[in-house]
Every structure is written in structure tokens, then in C-alpha cells.
A and B are shown apart, each in its own frame.
Chain A
């Protein structure tokens, strides 16, 4: 069965420091992988996606993620965090079967301290 694991429930980072959010997935084939961000009371915003090709994916707002098949991981990174990055981050897998439903991880809440 497909699943997504985000091992960190919350992370606190100082403004200007680097960030890495972890994501591991379980999927029988090459997955479609996504990172979404959600501010309180808001909908989802797509940060980046991986379908195939270059395993280092660039997204919006200075985020990037690297697909590592051997580790079944798709970690999200940002070199310098801004206070406005504080939000909930969801890693997700797009299942190619069943009409392309999306399976979400539990989410990681990012806190940014001044």
C-alpha cells in the first residue's frame, strides 16, 4: 500500500538558517511526489513536484527537493528560511492507479524564530 511518512511533527528554525524537512514514501513503482504548504485556515499551495528526470527539483519560494530512489526519500530544503515560511508542510504521493488520488503525509509544522 502507498504511504508517506514525515517523521518530524514540528521543527523550529532560526530565521536565515537552512531547513530540511524529511519525507519517506512507500510506493510500488516510480512515484509522483509533491510538497505542499498550508498556512493556517488556508488551502494547499504546491511548492514543487517530481515526475521523472532530474532528481533535484526546484520549486517556488526558493525551495528545492531531492528524489532519492535508494532511500525512498524526497526531502525538502531551503538554504535560508524567512519568517513568512512558518506554516504546515505536507509531502504527498500521487498514485498513478485509481485515478491519481493523492496520499498525504501527516505534515510537519515549521516554526521560525527571530
Chain B
């Protein structure tokens, strides 16, 4: 299957600083990518849809000024957590759908564990 790479795998940052997470589709182009957040012992919740060349679409309750998304190319989307606070500590996962003639499937990155201290 296709490969989606996320970087970094884990990051620890101080409260008040910003952290950037990268999501790359390595062997296919993705005009759309998705960002999810998973709190401990909970499910994955969609945060936003990243659209190449245009603004991201955020789910209800997600602060767009806090979670900045940039999708500048067909293979890269970035999520920047601005002015991070301990409550932003979570597991963040991206996905990118790959369309074939027959079907579409979303491929997931390995996730980024963010700890804000």
C-alpha cells in the first residue's frame, strides 16, 4: 500500500512554544489530507481537513488559530500547534487518501506523540 510518513514521532515542548508536525505522502499525491487527535484511552477524532492550495476546514470545536494547517504541496501537510499548553498533549495522526480507478483508501501516518510540559 501507499506510505504516509509523519515527523516527528514524538516531541516534548515547553508550555507557550509552538510545535510543527509534518505529514508526507511518499509515493502518491494527495490534494486532501486529514488530521486527527487521540487523547489517552479515547478514539481518534477528526480535527481538520487539509486542502492543497486552499484553507483548511476545521471540525466544530477545533480552534483554527491554535492549530495552523498548511498544505503547500501535493505531498506535504503541516500542523502547527501554537502556544502549546499541557492540555494539548495528545497523539496526533494524519491520513491521506489515495484514489485508484476502483476504490479509495486512506493511509495513515505513524502518529506524533506531543507532550507539553
Contact with B along A85-109 (1 / 0, CB 8 A): 0000010001010111111111100
Q: Does B12 contact A (CB under 8 A)?
A: no
- Of chain A, the residue at the smallest CB distance from B99 is A100
B93 contacts across to A, CB distance below 8 A: 43-44
State which size class the interface on A falls in.
20 to 34
B103 contacts across to A, CB distance below 8 A: 32, 51-52
Asked whether B34 lies within 8 Å of A105 as measured between CB atoms, the reply is no
Q: How many A-B contacts at CB < 8 Å in the complex?
A: 59
- State which residues 55-93 of B face A: CB under 8 Å: 93
A46 contacts across to B, CB distance below 8 A: 1
State which size class the interface on B falls in.
20 to 34
Minimum CB–CB distance from A68 to chain B (whole Å) comes to 20
Prevailing SS type, chain B contact patch: strand
Asked whether B106 lies within 8 Å of A102 as measured between CB atoms, the reply is yes
Asked whether A43 lies within 8 Å of B110 as measured between CB atoms, the reply is yes
Asked whether B109 lies within 8 Å of A32 as measured between CB atoms, the reply is no
Q: A41-B113, A43-B93 are in contact. Are A100 and B44 (CB under 8 A)?
A: no
Additional A-B contacts beyond A100-B99, A103-B46 (14; CB < 8 A): A32-B103, A32-B104, A43-B109, A43-B111, A46-B1, A49-B105, A51-B103, A99-B34, A99-B51, A99-B97, A101-B106, A104-B43, A104-B44, A104-B45
12 contacts between A and B (CB under 8 A): A96-B104, A99-B31, A99-B34, A99-B49, A100-B97, A100-B99, A101-B34, A101-B46, A101-B49, A102-B36, A102-B46, A104-B45
